[in-house]
Structure 1
Amino acid sequence: MSSLKRSIAIPLTALSCLARTVNPQRNDNIFVVSGSPRAGTTWLAETLARTLNTHRVYWEPLQDGNIALPGALKTSKRPFIEHDNQLSFAEKKFFEDLLYGKQANSHLLRLKKYPRNAFTVLSSGPLLIKFVRGNGVLSYLHQQFEIPKPVVIIRHPCAVVASQLRMGRWGDHPHVHPKVLERYPGIRSVVSTGKPLHQRLAMTWAGDVLAARAQQNSVHVIYYEHLVQRGAEELFPVFEDWGLACGGLDEALRLPSTTARDWSDLTTVESKLGRWVDELSVTAIEEILETVSRMGITDYGKDPSAVAI
């Protein structure tokens, strides 16, 4: 974290802690969304924030812009926590501060894009935390802090990879935590840095899905394709489990994500789901699907609208 960001973080954090002191129940309602980058996490998080009528959202706590402690959580781009005793004191404190609302900075609040979000540190609405690297920490958060089951959104690997390739900056993949490799030893022969980028991104995607499945009793898993096709109905079980009303959910889902790109065609169900068919070569599609299949993920095939579950 830069010195400028640190200087901004200090007063924001102090204000957030002050708000908690004034209102100790401020963080009693915490909801978590996670998934792979470009899988629809922002769309889902913004939909939930509108439905919950809250402006309190923490964005990407596990990205470099929010991780200030030297060595803390930097051993992997995709942390995977199976037991509390595997965490260092600094790591435990990081998550405690996050869940108790003691963290607040320009990165978490997206102040560069939305300066007005600075005022949310004093808000008393529910806190929504949105990850794209968090699938492996969800069970820990659910059990350790007794929060409602987090939601994981999964999207077709070809759609995710195609979108990532358009954005660049992915050359250091794959990112699969060593403990995920230990839990699923059969994938060791697949995960490699020597493959083309689209295959390496597919490896990371599959690692994200496997991390979520390893914690399936502690999370809700939904599919992007089902959310597009079924709308609010796909989220009814989640809201029921959370004990919340879901009025206005359909309307919120109709709004595009603030991270939607100029090239995104969101006018029809088909355009939302199938753009990757025209963006990827036949060979790339086959190699992506083969890669994730070899890693044990067989939910998807060449049909962009079908999920095989």
Structure 2
Amino acid sequence: MAAISEHPIIVAGSGRSGTTWLGNVIAGDDHRIIFEPFDYRRTPEFSGLTLRPYFRPNEKYPQWGSTIEKILRGEVSSDWVDQDLPRLNTSAPLRGLVIKEIRANGMLGWLQNNYSCKIVFLLRHPCAVVASRMSLGWDAGIDEVVTQGEFIEDYLTEYAEVIAGADTPAKRHAVMWCIENLVPLRQLPGTGCCTLYYEDLAAKTQSEVVRVLDFLELPLTESRKAAMQELSRTSRNGVIRSAGSLLGGWREQLSAEDLSGVGEIVKAFGIDVYATDSLLPVRKPL
């Protein structure tokens, strides 16, 4: 099923940051969602690609161009990427394509430079992301990035000691949060992407959804209103809950030692969007 769209929408962010829910809201019932196609474990065409690839914005990478272009045209299908097909209204025309991806943050500048896609980038508090990933038993996955020569050369050399010294699960997950968000925070300002903060979505859902829909030139349809009320199927307790329970949850899940460790790592990376003593963003650079 190909998408009828000249400007595919890419919804990107860290895993456990609300991208599934946001992608569903944006898609409504008239945009096809392609779910996390860059996962080589699910998409064999990317078998030579690391799980969290970094592409230099001005390089071409011809070995991946044709496969990525097929995804951007909607010419890919599997049970994994098509898990949201039941959301579509099959009696109405397909209006476009939403690519929901948690492993392409290091490619966003390259995608922006090479294709006419619209990028929506979602940020969430590192403590919340760390707590969620730890509760699910995720591996931090640092090895996936520290073996990429271009990534190390362009961004990670100065943080080598910080990365190597991350000696607890919380610190290692904090390192990955920093790595995942460092590239977009440096590359995306001034490029015309739309950035949302998870905490704003929780506290003022409708106004933030309207803001992103205006950016994408999409109407707030009944199907999108319905999706706003849904809980993400990828969350045990629901991604978007009441603002109070959402914003305070990680303080109860993480120990004082873990909170200190996350703060130490984020400070070492120089990312000042969030602080461990604040539930909300303290600075919005995008």
For Structure 1 versus Structure 2, the TM-score category normalised by the shorter chain is 0.7 to 0.9
Distance 1:232 1:238, change over 3 A: same
Q: What is the aligned partner in structure 2 of residue 26 from structure 1?
A: 4
Instruction: Verify the 8 A CA contact 2:240 2:246 in the aligned structure 1.
Output: yes
Q: 2:106 aligns with which of 131, 136, 151?
A: 136
CA deviation map 1:148-187 (0-9, x unaligned): 2x11111111110111111113154354454343333432
For this pair of structures, how many residues does the alignment match?
276
Q: How many Å apart are 1:116 and its aligned residue?
A: 4.6
Distance 1:265 1:103 in 2: 28
Unaligned runs of 5+ in 1: 1-15
CA deviation map 1:3-59 (0-9, x unaligned): xxxxxxxxxxxxx3xxx5xxxx82324111011111111111111122xx3251111
CA deviation map 1:179-200 (0-9, x unaligned): 3433334322211276212111
Give the secondary-structure state (helix, strand or coil) at the position aligned to 2:98: strand
Distance 2:89 2:206 in 1: 30
Distance 1:63 1:119 in 2: 27
Q: 2:75 aligns with which of 99, 102, 112?
A: 102
Distance 1:123 1:80, change over 3 A: farther
Distance 1:247 1:162, change over 3 A: same
TM-score by length of 2: 0.85
Distance 1:241 1:118 in 2: 22
Distance 2:89 2:240 in 1: 31
Amino acid at match of 2:106: G
Give the secondary-structure state (helix, strand or coil) at the position aligned to 1:222: strand
Instruction: Verify the 8 A CA contact 1:151 1:221 in the aligned structure 2.
Output: yes
Q: What is the aligned partner in structure 2 of residue 257 from structure 1?
A: 232
Instruction: Verify the 8 A CA contact 2:23 2:100 in the aligned structure 1.
Output: yes
Distance 1:70 1:183 in 2: 23
Q: Does 1:207 align with 2:179?
A: yes
Q: 2:66 aligns with which of 89, 93, 106?
A: 93
Unaligned runs of 5+ in 2: none
User: Aligned-pair RMSD on alpha carbons?
Assistant: 2.8
Distance 1:79 1:267, change over 3 A: closer
Distance 2:89 2:26 in 1: 20
Distance 1:252 1:106, change over 3 A: closer
Q: How many Å apart are 1:275 and its aligned residue?
A: 0.8
TM-score by length of 1: 0.79
Distance 1:30 1:246 in 2: 18
Q: Which has the higher helix share?
A: 1
Distance 1:299 1:251 in 2: 31
Instruction: Verify the 8 A CA contact 2:202 2:240 in the aligned structure 1.
Output: no
